[in-house]
Structure 1
Amino acid sequence: MGPTPAPPSEAVALLTGHTGEPTAIQLLSDRRGSRTWKIQGPKGTVTLKANNPDDEGARDKAAEMTQEDDHLLRLTAAGALSPDYRVSAGAWEGGRWLAVNWIDGAPLWRALALARSPEGNRAAVHPWLTGIARTWTERLACGPATDRRVPYRGALTHTTAPELATAILATPADTHIPVQPAADIWSLGASLFWCWTAHRPVPYDDTTDRLEKLAAIAKGTTTALRDVRPWKFPEFEDALTACLTPDPAARPTAKELTTAW
């Protein structure tokens, strides 16, 4: 293993005005062509994301980061994001970087650790679990329209809806795949399914090629919740199952889900 990648010096120098002289820099993620750091200083903490120019197998992450920044600006202008969230963005010698204010929280997998255990089946946990699902559902928002679009070819494989998997498999790598709200509902259900049961809704081996994983998802068949749930929770299970319905038109809307959880 080589040295831990350092963040772009151009970004760190500019962000010092926001955080103060950095007291800690932590690499959080280094995968799929991009890297993310947590930078702490006496005046604040930010998350810094930059493309990895040495990852030859990744898509054009610099272009994707430019689009991501454009969406943040548009969502802020529309009132969907706090104007304090986005900090800055710019170019560095290897591509593009983007910084946002750090928001404390826990990954969903870690947050649902208790709910995955048999001990989670108690009165205090039930409303807590549905509250997480409801809060997430209430904040589902599609990105604003733009003509400057990098072709979308799916994100995390296990959250890719069957109709998107089918479209990805049937089109060239440079074709943009439009995402409809129903696909976001499937993604939400898949994430909650995985983090509550410790099983992906569509089983496949981690070493399987991505295209084979997408082919498995495209079939529209998911593991029955009753076979993998840590404990019985009918109302929660019914909502998850509805999210993972193969037919996009049959899935609930975000508004409908907020009352179902």
Structure 2
Amino acid sequence: MTSKLLSDRRGSRAWKVTTATGHLALKANNPEADETRDKAAELAQEDRHLLQLAEAGALNAGYRIDAGPWTGGRWLAVQWIDGVPVRRAFALARGPEGDRPSVRPWLLTIARTWAARLARMHAAEWTHADVQPTNTLITGQGAAEVIDFTLSCGPDTANRIPYRGAITHITSPEVAAAILATPDTTHVQVPPASDVWGLGASLFWCWTGYRPASYADEAPRPEKLREIATGRTLDLAAVRPWEFPKFETLIRACLDVDPGGRPTAAEVAAW
């Protein structure tokens, strides 16, 4: 058996482990890290979510391999997905040279399969709640695979770490407003429409190279959330690398400021 350290940041570590039967991804908290969040508790929560999602039919049962405690906290092993993060996969599409016949159906396939993964969760009354470019991998076949279910929101909100947002840049206006209006200890339940916003925002960001909302990188998080809560986004036509009307229509629909005006994930998948 061999292992390769993939990341060591924000209080957690991840490895690619190769065994005689294949590959797996192993995650564990780093008890020596200078991190205020309890990563061991987050890993325990993700493990519970994986079991519940599989039981609800929202996730393949074979994705979770095993989990448990160790002397420094918790570990979790899941199926290895051979893919690259969306932003890296979109590198060619972000430039003018991406405007070619082979790229257009490839982009639509990614959007379709990504939405289909979310739709499966939504049908089981779950939301991913952390839809973002680094939590989705693009395989060699051009299909999207969703990972990292730590923050996912299910029908049972008891005994969970309160949801207070994920990556700021992909937060939907309604979730941003709810976070700003409630104490840090209050759980904010993420609705399916917010996952759809996250999908549209991720596609916008990875295709154009620009985050949908405009604010300074050094701005405090509450200031960023207040701007996001307005629902204002950059003009896609002004920042797109090349014209692709069908893809642009899909992104704009996902970024409708009215959650009820957005298509469902199932509708996006069938676009």
Query: What TM-score, normalized by structure 2, do the two folds share?
Result: 0.82
Q: How does 1:66-81 map to 2 (within 5 A)?
A: 66-81=44-59
Q: How much does 1:238 deviate? A: 1.1
> SS at 1:84's partner residue?
helix
Higher RCO structure, 1 or 2 (CA under 8 Å, sep 6+):
2
Aligned partners of 1:82, 1:194: CA distance in 2, in Å? 29
Letter in 2 for 1:24: S
Q: Tell me the residue number matched to 2:133.
A: none
What's the CA shift string for 1:202-252, capped at 9, x where partnerless?
A: 123333322222222112100010110000111111110111111111111
Q: How much does 1:56 deviate? A: 4.9
Q: Tell me the residue number matched to 1:205.
A: 216
Unaligned runs of 5+ in 2: 127-152
Could you tell me which of 114, 124, 140 is aligned with 2:92?
114
Aligned partners of 2:32, 2:164: CA distance in 1, in Å? 21
Could you tell me which of 45, 57, 62 is aligned with 1:84?
62
Q: Tell me the residue number matched to 1:248.
A: 259
What fraction of aligned residue pairs are identical, expressed as a percent?
58
Q: Tell me the residue number matched to 1:130.
A: 108
Spell out structure 1 runs of 4+ moving beyond 6 A.
none
> SS at 2:189's partner residue?
coil
Q: How much does 1:57 deviate? A: 4.3
Q: Tell me the residue number matched to 2:140.
A: none
Aligned length: 238
Q: Tell me the residue number matched to 1:257.
A: 268
Contact 1:23 1:42 in 2 (8 A): no
Structure-2 change in CA distance of 1:206 and 1:53 (3 Å): farther
Q: Does 1:24 align with 2:20?
A: no
Aligned partners of 1:58, 1:205: CA distance in 2, in Å? 25
Q: How does 1:143-154 map to 2 (within 5 A)?
A: 143-146=153-156, 147-154=158-165
Aligned partners of 1:239, 1:66: CA distance in 2, in Å? 36
> SS at 2:212's partner residue?
coil
After superposition, the CA RMSD in angstroms is: 1.7
Q: Tell me the residue number matched to 2:29.
A: 51
Aligned partners of 2:226, 2:71: CA distance in 1, in Å? 38
